[in-house]
A and B are shown apart, each in its own frame.
Chain A
Amino acid sequence: MSGGSYYVPASSKWPILAGLAVGLFMIGTGIVLVFDTGMVLLPIGAAAIVTVMALWFRDVIRESRRGLYDAQMDRSFRWGMGWFIFSEVMFFLAFFGALFYVRVFALPWLDGEGAKGVSALLWPDFVASWPLMNPPDTNVVGPEAVVSPWQLPLVNTLFLVASSITLTLSHEAFKEGYRDTARNCLAITVLLGVLFLIVQGIEYYEAYHHLGITLQAGIYGSTFFLLTGFHGAHVTIGAIILAVMLWRIQKGHFSAHNHFGFEAAAWYWHFVDVVWIGLFIFVYVF
């Protein structure tokens, strides 16, 4: 434990502004979805969130560089980031749980299997399969084909696994004092992340326009886009965070012993990578 230098920041305007920004963004999105009266608040809210986050983090970086943070503060950040990632794990677990529930229970039951197969009476002609190409109700048009895991998704898997390796190389290099190597490896990591997103964009285009996989294409399309979409959003956020870290390395913010911002970004990136492995196996391959 420390000798009493724990840094308690003075009052700050960023937290409440962040709250207002999130509120604006949510209300703006709601207005677009519910009342369809145009995008006004949504972009303002989004811009406000980005701006406030940047300014809030700027304060934190300044305080850190002024040496106000001791080892105990560092541990608070570590606990904070660790538990935040745990909350993200649980978020994805809900989506994976939905996928497994539908595949293992809901669809076979709709097909008449097991003690609860009485629900087969709803659509007697329904045949369960996964990927579900023919949803129970004919009003829902299922996909025409599925994404082959061994083409674009495999490429993306290689990109993300490689990016985790380059990121680890970057971190190890940084700890050994090879700042330029660290920077280069991190730049490659960000590049791989961007390549991943481009490939996913191509894949989505293919899915929507050639394979008939849409959000409306029954439960297969729903789970496909839910899982890959939220993962893609996390890759985007992770890549932005890593890009900020690249900029901070360039500015000489970190030392070989004190660079938790970088480490936190790396934790997040590895987490996103692990989620992708789960996706690759359970959404694409099996």
Chain B
Amino acid sequence: MAPQSPPKATLEHSQSASGSATADGFQEEHHYRSGPLRWLLTTNHKEIGSLYLIFSLAMFMIGGAMALVIRLELFQPGLQMIQPEFFNQMTTMHGLIMVFGAVMPGFVGLANWMIPLQIGAPDMALPRLNNFSFWLLPIAFTLLLSTLLMPGGGPNFGWTFYAPLSTTYAPPSTTFFIFALHMAGISSILGAINIIATILNLRAPGMRLMDMTLFVWTWLITAFLLIAVMPVLAGVITMMLLDINFGTSFFNAAGGGDPVLFQHLFWFFGHPEVYIMILPAFGIVSVIIPTFARKRLFGYASMVYATAAIAILSFLVWAHHMFAVGLPLVAELFFMYTTLLIAVPTGVKVFNWITTLFRGEITFETPMLFALAFVVLFTIGGFSGLMLAIAPADFQYHDTYFVVAHFHYVLVPGAVFSIMAAVYYWLPKWTGHYPDERLGRWHFWLSVIGVNLLFFPMHFAGLAGMPRRIPDYALQFADFNMASSIGGFLFGFSQLLFIWVVVKCVRGGVKAPANAWDGATDLEWTVPSPAPLHTFETPPDLRDFKFH
């Protein structure tokens, strides 16, 4: 299939609009600041998108460094490097930073950059709110990281902060952790509101909902999930705050409360949160695979419905994280069956990706490599999820390294790989240059080998009974852990290569045309590369545009 030539009118328009200010008497609106203030005060979706992505990368490296501290300690049995108290702070902070600081802002950054470009909008619907959403994050995470330096140390109860570990037995800094999470939550809610308003209200004339790319669709549904569950997180940490500081009894059975109530509330937020971190990944892969297979996405409508089905089911499965806590039998069964049901829409997606590849004219540029690795490795994580979903079997796996292997497979070669695929895919649009293909492939192969060496042995360690969140372990787990640690360092240091590729691409490289990839057909490829600061100031007319 030949690459589709973009509609001329759109192209010309976006070029001409980039330079001139509109003559409505408000030219000052088009006066742009330079210097650092420009980045602090910006309302531009592309600049805010870049800020999110840079922030996400910084958090990825910080959270990754903590993961390496963990892997260093676990390289051999026995306590080698750090004290157990600090180890607990590292596992906690690593989880919190990767979830709330790296993966979520990474996807929001991509949403900021690409949603307006993919729907033909001039910017996000509420640009000032967009800036507010972003700048809350560095403040929140500075506060979160500062807890490590406070008396008693930082949060040490795991990223799930179960009560009473996080209330009765928590370090004093927990109150600051709660406030940091409140700020990150406000940021997510406002960001999601902005994304929904943008998608529902700012699509260019002629673009129906079912014309949108899968990336936009998955983000629409993700934003809904965010608005539905981040307030529940805010509620549960507020109850923690009251238990810690005001003597309430929400999670304290002595006063008639229940620690298990914490787990219910947390996972009512937590499970949709898991899908918040994977649905946009589905969207990214669903735009990259058709491009490099040079075929239309197979089963577009079923992809949309599958995404919606996963989102709805995500509200009905939360207690599968709590099978071992002592639930009534009927709850165990209910949550087991709803969880297993999720395999159906997820299977639809994997089937559609593979069918899209079938008899395609496939080429293997770096974004495609990451996308293909995503399909394979995410599916492994999905299968181990099915094993965990079976309640009687979960009694064996619960809180072992098998769980760690499972969720790292869906989050690292799943969510993180999809973000990397997206970065390689859209860098030409952002910078006007292709990323270095040779270095990109090195980065890919080192990452893929490292990540599997890191996480695959964890399955075996877990099945053999190694508990998670411990700084020391029995001798029979030594080989698995040594392999994991070597893989961890390989994966971790390979990411320096990623940073180098990105920096190199920003600074120069092979010039990219408007449509940078041979098989790309979405709207963002009709604007010049690099995309001018302002695109689609007048909405393009898409009535004749050929969607996916």
Shortest B238–chain A CB gap in Å is 8
Q: Which residue of B lies closest to A28 (CB)?
A: B179
Chain A residues near B115 (CB-CB < 8 A): none
Chain A residues near B231 (CB-CB < 8 A): 87-88, 90-91, 93-94
* The one of A15, A56, A137 that contacts B135, using a Cβ cutoff of 8 Å: A15
Q: Is the CB of A215 within 8 A of B183?
A: no
Bound CA–CA A90/B128 (angstroms): 25
Is residue A252 contacting chain B, with contact meaning CB distance below 8 A? no
Q: Which of B69-77, B99-107, B261-269, B452-460 contacts A (4 or more CB under 8 A)?
A: B261-269
A-B contact pairs, 28 of them (CB 8 A): A1-B203, A1-B205, A10-B28, A10-B30, A11-B44, A15-B128, A15-B130, A16-B40, A22-B139, A23-B143, A27-B176, A27-B179, A30-B175, A76-B126, A83-B196, A84-B189, A86-B227, A87-B189, A88-B231, A91-B235, A92-B235, A102-B261, A106-B260, A107-B256, A109-B258, A122-B253, A222-B249, A223-B250
* The one of A12, A30, A79 that contacts B41, using a Cβ cutoff of 8 Å: A12
Bound CA–CA A87/B185 (angstroms): 11
Interface residues of B (CB under 8 A from A): 24, 26, 28-33, 37-38, 40-44, 121-123, 125-132, 135-136, 139-140, 143, 150, 172-173, 175-176, 179-180, 182-183, 186, 189, 192-194, 196-198, 200-205, 227-232, 234-236, 238-239, 242, 245-250, 253-258, 260-261, 264-265, 268, 326-329, 534, 537-539
- A13-B41, A83-B197, A135-B255 are contacts. A98–B182 as well, Cβ < 8 Å? no
- A10-B30, A10-B31, A106-B260 are contacts. A218–B122 as well, Cβ < 8 Å? no
Q: Which residue of B lies closest to A95 (CB)?
A: B235
Chain A residues near B182 (CB-CB < 8 A): 26
Most chain B CB neighbours (cut-off 10 Å) among A56, A88, A95: A95
* Main DSSP-derived SS at the B contact region: helix
Q: Is the CB of B194 within 8 A of A80?
A: yes
Shortest A85–chain B CB gap in Å is 10
- A14-B128, A72-B202 are contacts. A140–B249 as well, Cβ < 8 Å? yes
Is residue A112 contacting chain B, with contact meaning CB distance below 8 A? no
Is residue A18 contacting chain B, with contact meaning CB distance below 8 A? yes
* The one of A84, A115, A140, A215 that contacts B193, using a Cβ cutoff of 8 Å: A84
Q: Is the CB of A79 within 8 A of B135?
A: no
Contact residues on A (Cβ < 8 Å of other chain), bracket: 35 or more
Q: Which residue of A lies closest to B178 (CB)?
A: A30
Chain B residues near A216 (CB-CB < 8 A): 246-249, 255
Q: Is the CB of B139 within 8 A of A20?
A: yes
Q: Is the CB of A98 within 8 A of B242?
A: no
Bound CA–CA A13/B176 (angstroms): 26
Q: Is the CB of B186 within 8 A of A220?
A: no
Q: Is the CB of B256 within 8 A of A15?
A: no
Q: Is the CB of B248 within 8 A of A79?
A: no
Q: Is the CB of A140 within 8 A of B201?
A: no
Shortest A233–chain B CB gap in Å is 11
Chain B residues near A88 (CB-CB < 8 A): 231
Bound CA–CA A20/B257 (angstroms): 36
Shortest A66–chain B CB gap in Å is 8
Is residue A110 contacting chain B, with contact meaning CB distance below 8 A? yes
Chain A residues near B193 (CB-CB < 8 A): 79-80, 83-84, 87
- A94-B231, A115-B329, A140-B254 are contacts. A19–B135 as well, Cβ < 8 Å? yes
- A23-B183, A97-B265 are contacts. A76–B201 as well, Cβ < 8 Å? yes
Is residue A281 contacting chain B, with contact meaning CB distance below 8 A? no
Q: Is the CB of B132 within 8 A of A222?
A: no
Q: Is the CB of A79 within 8 A of B172?
A: no
Bound CA–CA A72/B143 (angstroms): 38
Is residue A226 contacting chain B, with contact meaning CB distance below 8 A? yes
Chain A residues near B172 (CB-CB < 8 A): 34
Q: Is the CB of A226 within 8 A of B254?
A: no
- A27-B176, A79-B197, A226-B242 are contacts. A215–B261 as well, Cβ < 8 Å? no
Shortest A199–chain B CB gap in Å is 23
Chain A residues near B260 (CB-CB < 8 A): 106
Chain A residues near B33 (CB-CB < 8 A): 11
Q: Is the CB of B136 within 8 A of A22?
A: yes
Q: Is the CB of B253 within 8 A of A110?
A: yes
Q: Which residue of B lies closest to A2 (CB)?
A: B539
Q: Is the CB of A8 within 8 A of B250?
A: no
Q: Which residue of A lies closest to B133 (CB)?
A: A15
Q: Is the CB of A218 within 8 A of B143?
A: no
Closest 5 A/B residue pairs (Cβ): A94-B235, A4-B538, A137-B254, A219-B256, A15-B132
Chain B residues near A226 (CB-CB < 8 A): 238-239, 242, 248, 250
